[in-house]
Structure 1
Amino acid sequence: MADQSSADFVVIGSGIIGSLTARKLVQAGASVLILEAGPRVTRDEIVARFRNSTRRSDWMSPYPPSAWAPHPIYQPKDNDYLVQAGPYPYPAEYMRIYGGSTWHWAAQAWRHLPNDFKIHSQYGVGVDWPMTYDDLEPFYQEAEEIMGVSGAANTGSPRAKPFPMEPVVDSWAMRRIRERLAGTFEVVANTTARNSRTYDGRPPCCGNNSCQPICPIDAQYNGGVAAASAEAAGVRIMVNANVYKLEHDDKGRIVAALYYDPDKRPHRITGKTFIVAANGIESPRLLLLSASEKFPKGLANSNDMVGRHLMDHPSTSLTFDADEDLWLGRGPQSPSSINTMRDGPFRSQHSPYRLDFTNISRVDGTTKSLISEGVYGVEFEKRLRHSAAREMNLKNVLEVLPHPENRIALSDQKDAMGIPKPQAHYAIDDYTRKGAERSTDDFKRVAELMGGTNLRFSKEGDFANNQHICGTLSMGSDPAVSVCDQWGRTREHENLFLAGTGVLPTSGTCNSTENALAVALRMVRHILAEQGAPKPAA
């Protein structure tokens, strides 16, 4: 197995966080190589797959997994890649492709609230972060300026500078909802990485209503844009390079990454510093796969914390018919929310939450439902029009606390490359369930204010998954219960750093990407200061 290449920094994963971490390093003059397990894809390819899909409501259909870099697929049937150990299912969806999973996101880019960093000291639950909101604030701003983030002024997260741009203009439906709930609920524009004007060479949102699975014009920032910007800056991205092991020397320093190509030929990449920046499932999987005689539990895992504290944001929901035509489906799919329950003393008793309004066209779902009921002809047209015009939906976005028994482990099953599949152990505790129960009062009040009829709550005890995988590589001040320190450095391997949503020690009530990106940008500044930033080539 001959060395194929070497670099100052070897980054595992080409998603938003891996790509933008690599870009910042190469801009400082370092040589950087990204190893991406999946294939190179383009926006044009993804849009074509979406348009040609027979499963338009299946947002994963434009992203088929490759045999050499599989990822979870559940429709039309489960491919059994993520093995479920229970007691509650954790059907995570993500992609292993050039640019990663944010080709396929709602682009919500919320900052945590200041109290989210200290929920243990404030409320006696969870853990405190090894940093404060103020420590992270400038890196939030840096992340937002890179991605092009817009939002309302009243997010609850203090800002030293304004957003890069104003929010995308409200659709008619969201405007009416805001007007009718005023005085009882404050409905605010979601904080999103979506252009309301031309920004960074990308156009403004034109209301395609397909943010998930793909923005067809790149008005919405995504990992493909991030990866392309990294390459333009000088980062080398090697696709179809499925890393299955990290090698170390006698002192525990990482010396090489081993990967398979699509024909299962092994390759070896050397480097000075390694950054694992895959997602919260694939990153702990790689560390566990890298077990050796010196580290029999896997890398960075002498305390058995790798993979533990798996978190997400479960949701319950309410669907109902408003008393006026709203015509959901114009503009972004997730444009507005209610944020009054994100923080407060109640957090000592139950989960906080956001209430998120759905603006997804009702036509496809209603059509399928009516056909399955055997409704045709005039009645079909009448009911379809009614649902398309008046049906609306909102969901809660609930915090999950970090529990060590919620974890990603290695399964005894193997994928097509002969590599053990990841296995999810997951449960939803009473803290989160009590938050869901509390949100039901808000659901009912919103429906009342909208003149709602035909209320359909999600099935009691059923939680939808929001695909905000975090916590499996938790950073912290206590080496006994964390995997890395506040800079992402693993304690047993001085040149191995972790980046991505897995390092987040708590989940809060907002999507994990911007928070993880801000942490990663802070990590890069520390690494460069510690190592002495290489001088850019003349």
Structure 2
Amino acid sequence: MADRTPAPRQDVCVVGAGPAGSLVAHRLASAGYDVTVLEAGPRFDGDREERERRMERAIRPDRGGVWGMGGERDAFSASGDRFYPLDAARVKGVGGSTLHWQGMVMRLHEADFDGDLPNDDPAWPLSYEDLRPYYAEAERALGVAGSSENPFAPPREEPHPMPAFEPSYSDSLFAKACERLGIATHAVPNARNSEGYDGRSACVGYGTCQPVCPSGAKYSADTHAEKAEDEGARVVDRAPVQRLETDGEGRVEAAVYATPDGDEHRQPAREFVLAAGGVEIPRLLLLSRSSDHPDGLANSSGAVGRYFMEHLFAGAGGTLDRETRQNHVGFITSESHQFYDDPGQAVERDGETVVPAAGDEPLSPIKLEFLNYAGPSPVELAVDADDWGDSLLSDLRDAYGDHVAMGGLVGQPPRPENRVTLDADTTDDHGNPVPDIQWSWGPRVKRTLARANEVQTAVLGELGADVEWTVGPDETGPAFHHMGTTRMGTDPAESVVNPRLRTHDVANLWVASSSVFPTAGSMNPTLTIAALALQCADHLDERL
């Protein structure tokens, strides 16, 4: 039985053992500090045999969840204009959502930080140059395979730790069509090993990257949780924090957490770091209201929970009259960021306009993806089939091999009406109000989704595909990138944390999460989360 009783007063207590919390814990434990990490979910057995069993469960016809999400523990509400399917793609456990993420790790562009994009988004209170060395450290920590060939990427100081994955066969088809349209394609940085790295093997091509990587080639944050433990940190699983208690001087004194046996404990510490994601962090702050903090902890601005942002998916696909080798690669190897800083630019072929330039209304950045997993996989077709033998083989030959598709991400602007609040009418397994997601899209997102679809259908048309479906602008869904609910800023009346990620209101409370993002951009956020976490750890080291 694991010992879940509290340790003596620690230097640092971290809430959450996902990528941010695990990186903070490892860095501070390596510096000699006493660190305890409290994680709401369990430890998952990470050996090869267990991962293979998990993969097998994931591809069976019933496709039950393999990471234990759901039920009273994970209850939530979604009262906004759009239903937000919170539990569809999050994981509570040591490693967090990196246990089943896709593994794409891009740096935000300089324009994201500077507010120089052609839209209404504000600037960040720190620059790309401030975060640039931490981006490099994050790439080394996670193990990133990438290339410097992307002409739209921000400047970097050194190559990626590993070479990029080779473009897939379908990438080569897209590349020729894009070249004729004047659209540049380039490699995607992936937090998965293209060669052996950090004691983990190279990718062996299982193709089930979501929801599980059986080989361990894709990075997951339990790696750094274990490294933190090797340096002396204590990681306590199945210990959901119920509230943070403050002393009479406004500092956090202890994290109160529950254990599976029904007991509650208080973990005291000098400093506290919240790293539980963009939904659970504001929820915990709101649950920690007291007579000294009647609106919730660190919430004098009223911004806790507000400015919830997401990335929306734009896509289009269909079939070709030739082989595409669909689903031979389970992750993306090529993209185009050409429409990121300038999403409204025209697309031309031989001097003829294929997609006219957009109007003057602001658009979000667009990140275009070339999907290597278009259409059903042969395994998916086989396990879902009713036939066997020659009949099944004939059906597989008819249904597999000619699908092709593009995807993309479009970021939401920060809108105060998009927020996380508490639903007092619905409680979790400890009797606490569950998070309520109030989510809407707004006109800019819809315009940008439509713009992305125009470019995607133009590329597919140039490829000669029969376009059979599009996703966007009216019916689409989130990428499950929770951002913005404890935003960073210099004005305590408008933001929750300062540029060092310490809360304005509480001197010993820090936030390491995408929840501090002032804007969403349209890049996958995990590398920026990791870079901010490493920077936060350095600021804490200075303070301690």
Asked if these proteins are the same fold (TM beyond 0.5), I'd say yes
Residue 100 (structure 2) aligns with: 104
Residue 19 (structure 1) aligns with: 22
In the alignment, which of 426, 431, 434 is matched to residue 439 of structure 2? 426
Deviates more, 1:43-52 or 1:425-434: 43-52
Residue 347 (structure 2) aligns with: none
Matched, 1:360 2:373: yes
**Alpha-carbon separation, structure 1, partners of 2:389 and 2:197:** 47
**Alpha-carbon separation, structure 2, partners of 1:361 and 1:334:** 11
Specify the code of the residue in structure 2 equivalent to 1:428: W
Structure 2 vs 1, CA of residues 212 and 345 (structure 1 numbering), >3 Å: closer, same or farther? closer
Matched, 1:50 2:55: yes
Specify the code of the residue in structure 2 equivalent to 1:11: V
Structure 2 vs 1, CA of residues 324 and 444 (structure 1 numbering), >3 Å: closer, same or farther? same
How many residue pairs are counted as aligned between the two chains?
A: 518
Deviations 1:310-349 (A, max 9, x none): 1110112112102320112223422221211111285961
Deviates more, 1:227-236 or 1:257-266: 227-236
Report the CA distance between 1:285 and its aligned residue. 0.7
1:121-132 alignment to 2 at 5 Å?
Answer: 123=118, 125-132=120-127
Residue 74 (structure 1) aligns with: none
Report the CA distance between 1:386 and its aligned residue. 4.2
| C-alpha contact 1:503 1:516 (8 A) present in aligned 2 | no
Deviations 1:116-151 (A, max 9, x none): 0122x6545122101000110000000001111122
1:237-386 alignment to 2 at 5 Å?
Answer: 237-344=235-342, 346=344, 349-360=362-373, 362-364=375-377, 384-386=396-398
| C-alpha contact 1:355 1:396 (8 A) present in aligned 2 | yes
Structure 2: 5+ residue runs without aligned partners? 345-359
Matched, 1:478 2:491: yes
| C-alpha contact 1:40 1:97 (8 A) present in aligned 2 | yes
Structure 2 vs 1, CA of residues 401 and 375 (structure 1 numbering), >3 Å: closer, same or farther? farther
| C-alpha contact 2:502 2:508 (8 A) present in aligned 1 | yes
Structure 2 vs 1, CA of residues 361 and 345 (structure 1 numbering), >3 Å: closer, same or farther? closer
Report the CA distance between 1:357 and its aligned residue. 2.0
Deviates more, 1:315-324 or 1:510-519: 315-324
| C-alpha contact 1:241 1:260 (8 A) present in aligned 2 | yes
Deviations 1:474-499 (A, max 9, x none): 11112222110011101111000001
Report the CA distance between 1:64 and its aligned residue. 1.2
Structure 2 vs 1, CA of residues 308 and 350 (structure 1 numbering), >3 Å: closer, same or farther? same
Deviations 1:347-382 (A, max 9, x none): 96112211112222634599669979x999988755
3-state secondary structure, aligned to 2:167? coil
**Alpha-carbon separation, structure 2, partners of 1:3 and 1:231:** 16
| C-alpha contact 1:49 1:61 (8 A) present in aligned 2 | no
In the alignment, which of 221, 224, 234 is matched to residue 222 of structure 2? 224
Residue 171 (structure 1) aligns with: 168
**Alpha-carbon separation, structure 1, partners of 2:508 and 2:30:** 20
3-state secondary structure, aligned to 1:140? helix
3-state secondary structure, aligned to 1:85? coil
**Alpha-carbon separation, structure 1, partners of 2:129 and 2:395:** 52
Report the CA distance between 1:302 and its aligned residue. 1.4
1:471-510 alignment to 2 at 5 Å?
Answer: 471-510=484-523
Structure 2 vs 1, CA of residues 138 and 294 (structure 1 numbering), >3 Å: closer, same or farther? same
Report the CA distance between 1:2 and its aligned residue. 8.8
**Alpha-carbon separation, structure 1, partners of 2:309 and 2:230:** 34
Specify the code of the residue in structure 1 equivalent to 2:135: Y
Structure 2 vs 1, CA of residues 128 and 254 (structure 1 numbering), >3 Å: closer, same or farther? same
**Alpha-carbon separation, structure 2, partners of 1:410 and 1:268:** 23
In the alignment, which of 455, 471, 474 is matched to residue 461 of structure 1? 474
| C-alpha contact 1:323 1:450 (8 A) present in aligned 2 | no
Specify the code of the residue in structure 1 equivalent to 2:169: W
Structure 2 vs 1, CA of residues 332 and 229 (structure 1 numbering), >3 Å: closer, same or farther? farther
Report the CA distance between 1:174 and its aligned residue. 2.2
Matched, 1:409 2:421: yes
Report the CA distance between 1:66 and its aligned residue. 7.4
3-state secondary structure, aligned to 2:155? coil
Structure 2 vs 1, CA of residues 414 and 319 (structure 1 numbering), >3 Å: closer, same or farther? same
| C-alpha contact 2:147 2:189 (8 A) present in aligned 1 | yes
Report the CA distance between 1:67 and its aligned residue. 6.4
Structure 2 vs 1, CA of residues 371 and 277 (structure 1 numbering), >3 Å: closer, same or farther? closer
Report the CA distance between 1:288 and its aligned residue. 0.6
3-state secondary structure, aligned to 1:112? coil
Matched, 1:115 2:118: no
Specify the code of the residue in structure 2 equivalent to 1:106: Q
Residue 390 (structure 1) aligns with: 402
Residue 76 (structure 1) aligns with: none
**Alpha-carbon separation, structure 2, partners of 1:274 and 1:84:** 29
Deviates more, 1:330-339 or 1:176-185: 176-185
Structure 2 vs 1, CA of residues 528 and 460 (structure 1 numbering), >3 Å: closer, same or farther? closer
Residue 356 (structure 2) aligns with: none
Matched, 1:156 2:150: no
In the alignment, which of 134, 146, 149 is matched to residue 139 of structure 1? 134
Residue 41 (structure 1) aligns with: 44
Deviations 1:487-529 (A, max 9, x none): 1101111000001111111111111111111112112212212
Report the CA distance between 1:163 and its aligned residue. 0.9
Specify the code of the residue in structure 2 equivalent to 1:6: R
Specify the code of the residue in structure 2 equivalent to 1:20: L
**Alpha-carbon separation, structure 2, partners of 1:137 and 1:212:** 29
Report the CA distance between 1:455 and its aligned residue. 2.3
**Alpha-carbon separation, structure 1, partners of 2:318 and 2:477:** 18
3-state secondary structure, aligned to 2:99? helix
Aligned-pair identity in percent equals: 32
| C-alpha contact 1:470 1:503 (8 A) present in aligned 2 | yes
Residue 399 (structure 1) aligns with: 411
Structure 2 vs 1, CA of residues 18 and 183 (structure 1 numbering), >3 Å: closer, same or farther? same
TM-score, normalization: structure 2?
0.90
| C-alpha contact 2:366 2:408 (8 A) present in aligned 1 | yes
Specify the code of the residue in structure 1 equivalent to 2:81: P
**Alpha-carbon separation, structure 1, partners of 2:290 and 2:111:** 40
Specify the code of the residue in structure 2 equivalent to 1:301: N
Deviations 1:219-275 (A, max 9, x none): 111122221222222211011111011000111100100011013211111000000
TM-score, normalization: structure 1?
0.90
**Alpha-carbon separation, structure 1, partners of 2:26 and 2:516:** 20
3-state secondary structure, aligned to 2:401? helix
Structure 2 vs 1, CA of residues 116 and 103 (structure 1 numbering), >3 Å: closer, same or farther? same
3-state secondary structure, aligned to 1:84? coil
Report the CA distance between 1:159 and its aligned residue. 0.2
3-state secondary structure, aligned to 1:137? helix
